[in-house]
Amino acid sequence: MSIRRKYNKAVQTNHLSMQERIFLSHINPVKDKIYRLALRLLTSRDAAEDATQEVILKLWSRKDKFKYYANIEAFAMTITKNYCLDQLKLKQNNNLRIIHQSYESKQTPLQTEIEVNDEMQWLGRIVDRLPEQQKMIFQLRDIEQYDYDEIAEIMNMNQTAIRVALSRARKAIREKLVKKHNYGIK
Amino acid sequence: MESNRIEYLLGRYEEGETTLAEEKELREYFSQKEIPEHLEAYALLFKFQAHESKAVYTEDKVLKLESKNYRFAWTSIAAVIIVALGIFYFNQSQPSLTTSEMSAVNDQEQALEKTKQTLKMVSAMMNEGTADLVYLQEFNKTKNQIIELN
């Protein structure tokens, strides 16, 4: 009986690790994108890491249905979006302020020039102030470079609406940049 | 001529009309050093995009968590086995005890004797106990005295 149990155990763990390997091969190319979207929405590094982990666990729990999804990456991003929006709703009242404080420590690489880092942080803050929808679309298009079909799938919106939101986001960022720039000169 | 095209592309970019290839062209253009002053805001924007795409998820918590899950699974299986064995053991051992006792007194007369013995023992114990109650009467005496005084 114990031999039989051992045999079953061996078969089971083998099976799982194979599944795990397949799962990881799907997830590895996407996990940085998940993390960056979470970071864009939640601002804090820790929160984004937790969110990434949660999303991967959610995906893990649905790994058996992977073959039914045409685009796993888009599916993963949708889950990330929904999870982060839920988190934001939960934290809407108090914690969001605290998260924002940890923003400074976000850009850690010391080797990058301080000036560039400053500009990037400041741009990050501009993007931060965009409405959530625009923020996400900007992230997906201009940083992750998804095509409009994928963004439509992730955001569950039609392409025209996405283009409009994206256009607004780009204009808003540029306007603020120009304002700041002129202010610096004058 | 090139800057004309760039400005045209930027116009389309702001309207959300550019294709991914055109955006790549813009990104490449702005990654060079010499940018006309009036386009510097865009240079920053594209630099920001490149900068932001470098953040990486470094944690490998996921794998750890998965192996943790297995550990939990095995402890729970072990716990179930222990509990099952415990229940099995007690269920088996209790009836065997009672049957052995029953078999010792299956004879009727013997049973009667035994009962008498135990009852006697109980009454003897009771008497021993009541003997000590004599002291209580002392208390009653003093109590009665107090009541009389009142």
Over residues B61-74, the pLDDT tens digits come to 545 445 445 667 78
Output the pLDDT for position A186. Answer: 44
Has residue B102 got a pLDDT over 80?
no
Considering only CB atoms, A170 lies closest to which of B13, B47, B66, namely B13
Contact B41 A178 (CB under 8 A): yes
The sign of the CA dihedral B103, B108, B114, B119 is positive
Examine the domain organization and report whether B36 and B8 are in the same domain: yes
Output the pLDDT for position A23. Answer: 81
Q: How many structural domains is chain B composed of? A: 3
Q: How far apart are CA B54 and CA B70, in angstroms?
A: 33
- For B148, the domain range is 108-150
Examine the domain organization and report whether B10 and B34 are in the same domain: yes
Please report the domains of chain A, with CATH numbers, ordered by start residue: 1-106 (1.10.1740), 107-186 (1.10.10.10)
Chain A nearest-CA residue for B52? A143
Considering only CB atoms, A35 lies closest to which of B23, B48, B57, namely B57
A122 CB-contact burial (10 Å; exposed 0-12 / middle 13-18 / buried 19+): middle
Contact A174 B14 (CB under 8 A): yes
Chain B nearest-CA residue for A119? B44
Examine the domain organization and report whether B16 and B42 are in the same domain: yes
Examine the domain organization and report whether B149 and B126 are in the same domain: yes
Examine the domain organization and report whether B115 and B93 are in the same domain: no
Measured between beta carbons, which residues in chain A are less than 8 angstroms from residue B22?
A: none
CB pairs under 8 A between A and B: 81
Q: For A169-173, B12-16, B97-101, B114-118, which range has the lowest pLDDT when averaged over its residues?
A: B97-101
The half-sphere exposure of B105 on its side-chain side, counting CA atoms within 13 A, is: 10
What SS3 state is found at B56?
coil
Examine the domain organization and report whether B47 and B7 are in the same domain: yes
pTM of this structure: 0.61
Considering only CB atoms, B48 lies closest to which of A16, A123, A162, namely A123
B8 CB-contact burial (10 Å; exposed 0-12 / middle 13-18 / buried 19+): exposed
| ipTM of this complex | 0.70
Chain A contact for B42 (CB, 8 A cutoff)? yes
Output the pLDDT for position A102. Answer: 46
**pLDDT-based confidence at A1, cuts 50/70/90?**
very low
Examine the domain organization and report whether B72 and B113 are in the same domain: no
Considering only CB atoms, A32 lies closest to which of B16, B51, B56, namely B56
- pLDDT tens-digit series, residues B117-141: 999 999 998 888 888 888 888 888 8
Give the helix/strand (H/E) hosting B39.
none
More confident residue, A68 or A15: A68
Q: Which of A5, A9, A123, A136 to mutate to test the interface with B (most CBs of B within 10 A)?
A: A123
